[in-house]
Amino acid sequence: MTADEELLKALLAGEHRALARVISKIENRSPGYRDLVSELYAHTGEADVIGITGSPGAGKSTLVDKLAETYRDRGETVGVIAIDPSSPFTGGAVLGDRIRMASTVGDMDVFVRSMSARGTLGGLSTATADAVKAMDAFGKDKIIIETVGAGQNEIDIVRTADTVAVLVPPGSGDDIQTLKAGILEIADVFVVNKADRPGSDRTVQELRDMIQLGDGGGGMGGGDGSHHSQEVIDAHDDWDGEVDDEAEVTGWTTPIVETVATKGEGVDDLIDEFGNHRTYLVDSGEHAEQVRGRYAEEIRTLLREDVHALLEDRLAERGGIDDLAESVRQGETDPYSITGELLDPVEDCLDELETRGENG
């Protein structure tokens, strides 16, 4: 048995040390990590994956801590993946926020892992998805992905989740307008944290108005359907968790939950809404569609990475891209012709494989 096979066996047996080592291999793109991840797929699909995002200072880390603590009180195991910015000195994850997760320190059934951007945010979304698979295969009941920021990169990463909660701090009316076109549209649940502060009522009302207007995409209505859809405002309020086979499922209305994470207030309500959304996804068939779309994007991403690496090798054989660029500058050729010449052998190979398949 190879070392990686032993590592996989240990992970599936529930050894946290093996889980940590597998995620390190994934994050570092160590030799053999792809084969390891490939073996994980057969053991995944049971965990609920929850994304927590929102503007800095909204109290995400404290809320994640309380969520983990409450899930443990309910007898469920938890994995937390915290997406932290790169340290300019080491390239490692900045772990300061983890200190605040004091409630679950020492509880091995709450496994917290910080992942660093390492300057390659595009690759981080793939690494995050693979780390989720490792925790899922390990047997974690709930997996929480927490991002530190609220930009496009964080949105891409949090799309790995089945249910996305967007935290909005109180008194952030202007922020709502600013964020509307981006992060707010991916919300399955809105969380107004620090709800004991002035301005929280106004923030809740502004979010409610926005939802009723159906402004934006995704959870608020319309959009491209890549995350979820919504057509009827009253669907959530009227929905009792049961789906009538004869009735058309009309969609999910994004609920607004007020929390005070430092005191643990509203956390149970939030977890209940996560459960409602999970039930809705499964019963409506959207979960299957969501997973299918996620796998399709994974395939596209891997194809892009592998074809890019393949072409980089061919470019090196041709003297490197600088030599080719110089030949364009000299008027000897053009970028389109060079691209065609590089891709011709790839297309010929694919055609040959297709012909073999048809004849075989």
- Residue that wins the pLDDT comparison between 51 and 57: 51
274 has pLDDT over 70: yes
- Domain residue limits, the chain: 45-283, 299-359
Average pLDDT over residues 201-217: 76
Q: What is the pLDDT of residues 297-320, one digit of tens each?
A: 899 988 888 888 888 888 888 788
Average pLDDT over residues 172-184: 60
CA distance 290 to 15: 30
Quote the pLDDT of residue 183: 66
Categorize the per-residue pLDDT at 51 as very low, low, confident or very high, splitting at 50, 70 and 90: very high
The H-or-E segment that residue 325 falls in is helix 321-329
Radius of gyration of the chain (CA): 23
Dihedral sign of CA atoms 2, 4, 8, 10 in order: positive
Q: What is the pLDDT of residues 92-142, one digit of tens each?
A: 443 434 434 444 445 568 899 988 755 455 567 788 999 999 999 999 999
CA distance 116 to 137: 22
Question: On the CB side of 132, how many CA atoms lie within 13 Å of its CA?
Answer: 27
Amino acid letter for position 271: I
CA distance 344 to 50: 44
CA distances 155 to 148, 152, 234, 329, 334, Å, are 11, 5, 27, 39, 37
Quote the pLDDT of residue 176: 64
Range scoring the smallest mean pLDDT among 172-181, 233-242, 340-349 = 233-242
Quick one: 45-283 is in which CATH superfamily?
P-loop containing nucleotide triphosphate hydrolases (3.40.50.300)
Question: On the CB side of 241, how many CA atoms lie within 13 Å of its CA?
Answer: 6
φ, ψ (nearest 5 deg) of residue 52: -120, 115
Quote the pLDDT of residue 122: 57
Average pLDDT over residues 151-165: 80
Pairing of strands 142-147, 189-192: unpaired
Dihedral sign of CA atoms 353, 295, 340, 309 in order: negative
Beta carbons of 138 and 14 less than 8 angstroms apart: yes
